[in-house]
């Protein structure tokens, strides 16, 4: 048998130039494909194998390798732009013409439907095309509501319409209560009712208020007779005129005012994302929240509760109400200080405040005394009388006891928010 020149590549072999070595290898493949058992180099293949098989379907990735028979290159139709590969029969491989490079024709991934729309094997959250989606852990049992997108800050909360796929306003609450009070200002009038009930006189043996003395306490306003035992006093000093009692009347300027209860922080929870479990090992594939909403995923429940075991572990408590128990204390004044008594202290040598008057007009003033012309019987050395007339001076003042806030605005109706770290 002669060696026949193999025919040229088939009709489809538009890129048929292949070197000999490669052709021989392909020839072997072609022979096996045709069921021939012998191959000795002189074999002639007049009739190649079947035509190339088409590549994979147009919707799944890689095209199959087409094997050409009868010198006609197979024509692999690639899926997704991967060429099929045809092999020419009869010893010369036709170079398969690749698929036309047209993609499989699947649609773009819808990240919200639980279906692998683009047939890349990845559903929704698992598909890299779905970067705007994320897996949210399922809301735990026990009354927890979520997943939620959360905004917190001060000022007006943004609309849930801005929270990507969390359009429903689920909760609004607050933290950091501010319940100040503006209390009136206070002042104190001058002391009133200060009493000058007693005066003290010091009686000396000598005439210059020197040396040892005896002290006599005299009730204000009454002539008081007194005797001395050890000596007839020759001088007297007005020792003291202590003021007693009295009070200042507090004055209140303005009135208490209580600004509306305010909060440092406000929280808005948005929920109701389209439910979907696609592509998440656990939980739900939900839209990723958009700023200014935070990235943490949260669940909430009314009450101040511990967070459930699991992914939603970071607790914060907000409040939806307040009890306003604010008030202001009354203005007050301390006891008076700096008050004094003035008046006169008059002494006499008789016992009825009428003979040999000696008058003192200032506290601590010293004056000599005339000898008692009518000393009593022993053991007494003298019998005299004294009268103290005291009036309160206008000095003195009271410390202001200001009006201060009492009570407070107490947050009520707590809401517990538990979020992912
Ligand atoms: Ca999908
Ligand atoms: Ca996909």
CA of 118 relative to ligand 2 center, distance in Å: 5
> Cα of 164 to ligand 2 centre, how many Å?
21
Q: Which ligand is nearest to the CA of 120?
A: 2
Q: How far away, in angstroms, is 387 Cα from ligand 2 center? A: 114
Q: Is pLDDT at 142 greater than 80 in this prediction?
A: yes
Task: Report CA(352)–ligand 1 centroid distance (Å).
Answer: 120
Question: Has residue 324 got a pLDDT over 90?
Answer: yes
Strand ranges inside 99-209, DSSP E: 133-136, 145-153, 168-178, 185-188, 198-204
Least confident among 22-31, 170-179, 391-400:
22-31
Structure tokens at 9: 């590549």
Q: What is the mean pLDDT of residues 37-62?
A: 36
Higher pLDDT, 347 or 48: 347
Ligand in nearest proximity to the CA of 114: 1
Ligand 1 mean position to 110 CA, how many Å? 4
Torsion of CA 409, 172, 176, 322, to 10 degrees: 10
Report the share of the chain in percent with pLDDT over 70: 74
Q: What is the pLDDT of residues 236-283, one digit of tens each?
A: 999 999 999 999 999 999 999 999 999 999 999 999 876 666 889 888
Q: What angle do CA 358, 362, 366 make, to 5 degrees?
A: 55
Encode pLDDT of 57-77 as tens digits.
333 333 334 333 333 333 333
The ligand that comes nearest to the alpha carbon of residue 124 is 1
From the list 361, 359, 352, 360, the residue with the least C-alpha distance to 384 is: 352
How far away, in angstroms, is 297 Cα from ligand 2 center? Answer: 24
> Distance from the CA of 270 to the center of ligand 1, in angstroms?
24
Q: Which ligand is in closest contact with the Cα of 128?
A: 2
Q: Which ligand is nearest to the CA of 127?
A: 2
Whole-model pTM: value is 0.56
Prior bond to 292 cis, omega within 30?
A: yes
What ligand is nearest to the CA atom of residue 106? 2
For residue 287, which of 130, 420, 129 has the smallest C-alpha distance?
130
Expressed in angstroms and rounded, the spacing between residue 139 Cα and the centre of ligand 1 is 22
pLDDT of residue 161: 87
Q: How far is the CA of 124 from the centre of ligand 2 (A)?
A: 6
pLDDT tens digits, 188-223: 999 999 999 999 999 999 999 998 899 999 999 999
Burial class, 318, CB count within 10 angstroms (exposed 0-12 / middle 13-18 / buried 19+): buried
Render the burial of 356-387: b for 16+ CB within 10 Å, e for the rest: eebebeebeebbebeebeebeeeeebbbbbbb
Q: In angstroms, what is the span from residue 266 Cα to ligand 1's centroid?
A: 36
């Amino acid at each position: 048998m002669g060696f026949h020149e193999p025919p040229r590549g088939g009709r489809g072999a538009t890129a048929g130039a292949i070197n000999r070595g490669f052709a021989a290898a392909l020839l072997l493949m072609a022979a096996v494909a045709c069921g021939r058992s012998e191959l000795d180099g002189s074999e002639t293949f007049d009739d190649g194998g079947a035509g190339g098989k088409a590549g994979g379907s147009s919707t799944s990735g890689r095209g199959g390798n087409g094997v050409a028979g009868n010198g006609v290159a197979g024509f692999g139709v690639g899926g997704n732009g991967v060429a099929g590969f045809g092999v020419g029969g009869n010893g010369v491989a036709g170079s398969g013409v690749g698929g036309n490079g047209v993609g499989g024709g699947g649609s773009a991934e819808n990240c919200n439907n639980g279906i692998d729309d683009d047939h890349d094997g990845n559903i929704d959250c698992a598909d890299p095309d779905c970067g705007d989606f994320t897996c949210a852990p399922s809301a735990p049992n026990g009354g927890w509501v979520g997943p939620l997108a959360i905004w917190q800050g001060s000022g007006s909360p943004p609309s849930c319409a801005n929270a990507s796929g969390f359009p429903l306003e689920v909760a609004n609450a607050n933290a950091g209560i501010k319940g100040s009070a503006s209390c009136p200002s206070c002042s104190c009038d001058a002391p009133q009712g200060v009493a000058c009930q007693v005066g003290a006189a010091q009686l000396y043996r000598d005439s210059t208020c020197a040396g040892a003395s005896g002290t006599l306490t005299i009730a204000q306003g009454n002539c008081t007779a007194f005797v001395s035992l050890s000596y007839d006093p020759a001088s007297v000093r007005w020792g003291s005129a202590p003021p007693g009692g009295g009070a200042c009347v507090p004055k209140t300027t303005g009135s208490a005012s209580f600004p509306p209860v305010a909060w440092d922080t406000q929280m808005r929870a948005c929920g109701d994302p389209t439910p979907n479990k696609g592509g998440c090992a656990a939980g739900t594939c939900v839209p990723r929240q958009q700023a200014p909403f935070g990235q943490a995923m949260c669940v909430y429940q009314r009450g101040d509760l511990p967070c459930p075991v699991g992914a939603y572990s970071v607790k914060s408590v907000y409040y939806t109400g307040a009890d306003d128990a604010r008030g202001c204390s009354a203005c007050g004044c301390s006891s008076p200080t700096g008050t004094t008594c003035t008046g006169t202290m008059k002494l006499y040598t008789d016992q009825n405040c009428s003979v040999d008057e000696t008058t003192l007009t200032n506290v601590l003033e010293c004056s000599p005394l005339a000898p008692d012309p009518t000393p009593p019987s022993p053991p007494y050395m003298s019998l005299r009388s004294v009268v103290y007339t005291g009036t309160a001076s206008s000095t003195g003042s009271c410390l202001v006891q200001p009006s201060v806030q009492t009570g407070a605005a107490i947050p009520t109706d707590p809401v517990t928010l538990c979020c992912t770290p």
